[in-house]
Amino acid sequence: MLTKKGIQAWLPLQKLMRRYTRSTRWVEKPLINSYVFVKIVKDQYVPVLETENVAGFVKFSKNLVSIPEGEIELLKKITLEDGLDVEAVKGVFSEGDPVEIAAGNLAGLKGRIVKVEGKRKFQVELDYLFHSLLITVDAAFLEKTRISI
């Protein structure tokens, strides 16, 4: 739909061999779920956002993020490698990192990682109402923040 509007768009796909009960097949899956990269100029922002199933642009705080050309080239190299099983995760989190919950009912709340619980679960301390609230959050719902809390 984006290319029909004259917008340069790219969906990084990885080609993987999957084994099923009776066969093996090559399948393609997005390298980063829910992300399509576009190369646009300012007057193309609105047509992109008006496209069906487009949720928005990547932002840090309230600022749009431009992905450096070098990172796009790296993604292209990764996707050209057949059979390379890669998982894209949002950043690497460590104890003490300031974070913001980016999705779900608690979106917008800021806190600090106090405990790592496996590869994808983190205990986050939220300072509100003069209390520390400890919750366990999946990495998919977290974004690192630059400003310490």
| Domain finish residue from 46, 80, 114 | 80
Indicate whether 91 belongs to any domain. Answer: no
CATH of the domain at 119: 2.30.30.30
- The verdict on pTM exceeding 0.85 is no
Q: How confident is the model at residue 50 (pLDDT cuts 50, 70, 90)?
A: very high
- The angle formed by the CA atoms of residues 34, 85 and 87, to the nearest 5 degrees, is 40
Q: Report pLDDT digits (tens) over 89-139.
A: 556 778 888 888 777 777 777 888 888 877 677 778 776 655 566 777 777
What is the arithmetic mean of pLDDT over 59-71?
A: 80
Indicate whether 85 belongs to any domain. Answer: no
Is residue 7 domain-shared with residue 67, that is, in the same domain?
yes
37/57 Cα distance (integer angstroms): 9
DSSP letter (8 states) at residue 67: P
What is the arithmetic mean of pLDDT over 32-58?
A: 90
Q: How confident is the model at residue 30 (pLDDT cuts 50, 70, 90)?
A: confident
Indicate whether 88 belongs to any domain. Answer: no
Smallest CA-to-CA distance from 114 within 102, 90, 98, 131 is with 98
Indicate whether 9 belongs to any domain. Answer: yes
Is residue 33 domain-shared with residue 76, that is, in the same domain?
yes
